[in-house]
Amino acid sequence: MILWGMSYVWTKIVFKYYDPITTVYIRLVLSSVFLLIYIYFFGKFEKLRKEHYKLFFLSALFNPFLYFIGESFGLERVSPTISAVIIAMIPLFTPLAAYIAFKEKFSKVNTVGILLSFCGILVMIADKNMSFTADPIGIAFLFGAVIVAVIYGILLRKLTQHYSSVTIITYQNMVGAFFFLPLFLIFDLKHFLQVKPNFELVSSLVLLAIFASSLAYILYTTTVRKIGISRGNMYTNLIPIFTGITSYFILAEQFTVSKISGIFIVILGVVLSQLDKLKRRKTKNSTL
């Protein structure tokens, strides 16, 4: 969540030079190269089974392709902190999807934790008059990304039962880059060739590729495998906190008292959402 929180700031920096499609395409290509090198030297290559081709295709279609379209075009029109806040609504929709697909149980305490955490997010983005101002088209793109992310979580959970996290993210990023290639060639190639790269641009792209598109997704995939998509997605409520802090230091975004208060409310909500699992683990350890 720290890496994803920082990624909104890195993306905003890249947007000063490239359009969203170019940004995501290069990010996925660099990530795929990095992961393939990692597998070659340190990992174990896993061949996909034919019965999983469709599942990988669909998962890559939802994320990175559709998700990054929604997130990137939304972030282009909305500030990094507000973008992160909207993406953090994913946990509100995930429990229902997880219950339908996997019968994952979610207690009343967990639900209170989710709602409390979301209230903390609202506190972070509200102004003195408790009103919100943002580009409606950007908001629409971001909400589309939220819906796509929930569906992706279901598909990802199925893949984690058969493949390692590194294998899943490597294949998904390669397929995602393939999806973006025609859009890049048709709409952005001319502009891409006109931009002269500098250190700020290159470093931000590399950070996005290695930490946000590679390491963060590998860690998240491992989390989904261990604790499920409902509790795993709950931690996305922490993203606006890290985005707000990073935006303050790098982009000079205002860090108000309401944001600080919201941070504490969000953390409290996350703790409550995990309370039942922590109690069960403590009971199990004491029994042993």
Which of 19, 21, 34 minimizes the C-alpha distance to 170? 34
Per-residue pLDDT tens for 201-234?
999 999 999 999 999 999 999 998 988 887 788 7
Q: What is the pLDDT of residue 29?
A: 97
Q: Scan for tokens 């395409």, then name that residue.
A: 25
* Rounded Cα–Cα distance for residues 125 and 81 (Å): 8
Residue 214: CB partners within 8 Å, gap ≥ 6?
31, 34, 35, 169, 173
Q: What is the pLDDT of residue 281?
A: 55
Q: What is the pLDDT of residue 286?
A: 54
* Structure-model confidence comparison of residues 153 and 94, the more confident one: 153
Distances (CA, A) of 72 to 25, 37, 65, 271: 11, 27, 11, 30
Q: Evaluate if residue 187 carries a pLDDT over 70.
A: yes
Burial code (b: 16+ CB inside 10 Å, e: under 16) for 214-239 equals bbbbbebbbbbbeebbbbbbbbbbbb
| Token pair recorded at residue 47 | 């061949």
Across the range 260-274, mean pLDDT stands at 76
Q: How many CA atoms lie within 13 A of 184 on its CB side?
A: 20
pTM of the model: 0.83
Chain centroid offset of residue 204 CA = 17
Q: What are phi and psi of 133, to 5 degrees?
A: -125, 120
* Rounded Cα–Cα distance for residues 261 and 126 (Å): 11
Q: Evaluate if residue 38 carries a pLDDT over 60.
A: yes
Per-residue pLDDT tens for 94-126?
777 777 777 766 677 777 877 887 787 777 666
Across the range 240-254, mean pLDDT stands at 84
Per-residue pLDDT tens for 4-32?
999 999 999 999 999 999 999 999 999 99
Q: Evaluate if residue 267 carries a pLDDT over 80.
A: no
User: Predicted confidence band at 288 (pLDDT cuts at 50, 70, 90)?
Assistant: low
Q: What are phi and psi of 108, to 5 degrees?
A: -65, -35
Number of other CB atoms surrounding residue 256 within 10 Å: 14
Residue 246: CB partners within 8 Å, gap ≥ 6?
5, 6, 8, 9, 80
| Token pair recorded at residue 114 | 């989710």
Q: How many CA atoms lie within 13 A of 31 on its CB side?
A: 34
